[in-house]
Amino acid sequence: MTNSLATYLSEARLKAWNDAIDERHSVRSYQKRPVREEALQSIEGLLRGFSPLCRHARGHLVVQNASRLFTGFLGPFGKISNAPAAVVFAGEFHLPRYMEAVGYLGEGIVLEATSLGLGTCWIAGSFSRDRTLARIRLDPGWKVVALTPLGYESRHTTLGDMALKALAKSDSRKPLSEIVTGLPRPRWPRGLKGALEAAQWAPSARNAQPWRFRVDRDGVALMADTGDVNLNSMKRLDCGIAMLHFEVACCAAGITGSWRFPKPGIPMIAKYRYA
């Protein structure tokens, strides 16, 4: 059991993250200038987590030649270009909910970076694992799950960027009617629609949006689209990201509560229980 996120983060930071949810988009081309020192310091302060839900996840900052960590999608197509810095997200892989923790922690860093004017892009596929491992110190029992470049967005959008966005349909999301079930809208608490929209617009691998929500009287349950107990771990990562968006927006709307995890065997990722 954990407390509300509002007990771990300042009101100002929660507001900044809530605003960042609307501004964030994946950035794949960067300006060559380095990231400001104060911005790096803010991000550094979050690398070991900002709430107990981040336990089993950690970020590692890379500030030199970060572009070399990224590879193309097909040859050079889709490669992250000119990133001056990156954060590597790692998880304690023998623990059952480490992927949700990596998603939750990583998205906190992404929203912090966005609020500081930096671009980010979750990358779980097109990076070099060997070059990444050579740049960080990973404890035994931990593995690299994904990375994000960090830097200032380039003013020029490349054809590759446009093609990748079009391929993933990054500018659209499934409608709430497809991802939310349960109580009818007139019975939702005030502000819940906005919180579900914040989750709806979370980033996900290939923009697959594997999250589904059920609005109950005592809270909101989060499941993966397949409803399996033994979930594919990438879906768990995406759901961890959506959990943070939902919770940040709930805090902003005054819907106090916290995430609880189900007993083993129940096909649910977590439930946000109202306080």
Ligand X SMILES: Cc1cc2nc3c(=O)[nH]c(=O)nc-3n(C[C@H](O)[C@H](O)[C@H](O)COP(=O)(O)O)c2cc1C
Residues that bind ligand X (CB under 6 A): 25-26, 78, 121-126, 146, 164, 168, 170, 203-207, 237-238, 241
Nearest approach in angstroms of CB 258 to ligand X is: 23
β-bridge mates for residue 259, sequence order: 272
Type of residue at 245: H
SS3 assignment, position 20: helix
Nearest approach in angstroms of CB 123 to ligand X is: 4
| Nearer to ligand X (CB atom), residue 162 or residue 229 | 162
How would you classify the pairing of strands 211-215 and 180-182? parallel
| Nearer to ligand X (CB atom), residue 124 or residue 183 | 124
| Nearer to ligand X (CB atom), residue 30 or residue 257 | 30
Report the alpha-carbon distance of residue 34 to residue 32 in Å, rounded: 7
β-bridge mates for residue 147, sequence order: 88, 123
Nearest approach in angstroms of CB 3 to ligand X is: 26
Nearest approach in angstroms of CB 190 to ligand X is: 27
SS3 assignment, position 241: helix
Nearest approach in angstroms of CB 183 to ligand X is: 28
| Nearer to ligand X (CB atom), residue 16 or residue 168 | 168
| Nearer to ligand X (CB atom), residue 100 or residue 238 | 238
The H or E element spanning position 144 is: strand 142-150
Among 26, 34, 24, residue whose Cα is nearest residue 82: 34
| Nearer to ligand X (CB atom), residue 88 or residue 255 | 88
Render the burial of 201-211: b for 16+ CB within 10 Å, e for the rest: bbbbbebebbb
Report the alpha-carbon distance of residue 205 to residue 98 in Å, rounded: 17
156 Cα distance to chain centroid = 25
Nearest approach in angstroms of CB 57 to ligand X is: 13
